[in-house]
């Protein structure tokens, strides 16, 4: 028997009831089901592994938690990013971190990666706006299936990685495809092509 999802819950209720359930995030009080596939997880795992290599090379204060929520203050929204890089030195300022893996301050975050799935509109529109407001310096949208709207990835649609870099309070976006080398301000020495990530679900 299917259980009806609540029509509206607060972010605190969400953290209590669904904080450990990786199948949901919360947007404006509405439970959003995350329909991740095996290939989605492969891509996220590959990106996380490559970023951890960079962290080991020269960023001892950075960490990629296994599980983490981003709680947007003054809203009923909590995102569950596929990969998030945090600055350990800033976690002392996080009001919830010592009790649960919840981030509320953009200054704690160095980079967020979202792997695009069926709810691509949230990754390309809503999260771009909210992560910019939060002050997340860099946001990657990994669309390995090329399913995002043409306004975002062009025509014809094709697998694309969009790197959004915060300038003042808005993201500047750069699209990467095929053998394009990714350009990251957070990890300027990163040596990684779009194809390496886009093909990681097919290895």
Cα Rg of the chain, angstroms = 16
- Across residues 60-74, what is the average pLDDT? 95
Tokens of 126: 């809503």
pLDDT score at 94: 97
Tokens of 38: 């095996």
CA distances from 169 to 56, 74, 76, 148, 165 (A): 30, 18, 22, 24, 10
pLDDT: which is higher, 203 or 76: 76
pLDDT band with cut points at 50, 70 and 90 for residue 11 = very high
203 pLDDT higher than 60: no
**Contacts (Cβ under 8 Å, ≥6 apart) of 72:** 11, 78, 79, 104, 130, 133, 134
pTM of the model: 0.94
Q: How far is 188 from 109, CA to CA, in rounded Å?
A: 17
pLDDT score at 2: 41
């Amino acid at each position: 028997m299917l259980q009806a999802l609540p029509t509206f819950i607060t972010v605190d209720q969400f953290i209590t009831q669904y904080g450990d359930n990786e199948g949901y995030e919360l947007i404006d009080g509405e439970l959003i089901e995350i329909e991740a596939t095996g290939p989605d997880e492969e891509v996220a795992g590959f990106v996380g592994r490559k970023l951890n290599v960079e962290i080991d090379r020269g960023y001892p204060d950075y960490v990629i938690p296994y599980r983490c929520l981003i709680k947007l203050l003054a809203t009923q929204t909590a995102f569950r990013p596929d990969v998030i890089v945090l600055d350990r030195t800033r976690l002392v300022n996080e009001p919830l971190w010592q009790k649960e893996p919840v981030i509320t301050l953009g200054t704690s975050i160095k980079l967020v990666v979202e792997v695009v799935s069926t709810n691509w509109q949230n990754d390309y529109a809503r999260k771009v706006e909210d992560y910019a407001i939060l002050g997340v310096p860099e946001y990657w949208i990994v669309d390995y299936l090329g399913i995002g709207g043409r306004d975002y990835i062009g025509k014809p649609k094709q697998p694309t990685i969009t790197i959004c870099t915060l300038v003042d309070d808005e993201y500047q976006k750069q699209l990467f495809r095929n053998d394009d080398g990714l350009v990251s301000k957070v990890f300027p020495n990163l040596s990684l092509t779009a194809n390496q990530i886009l093909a990681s679900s097919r290895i």
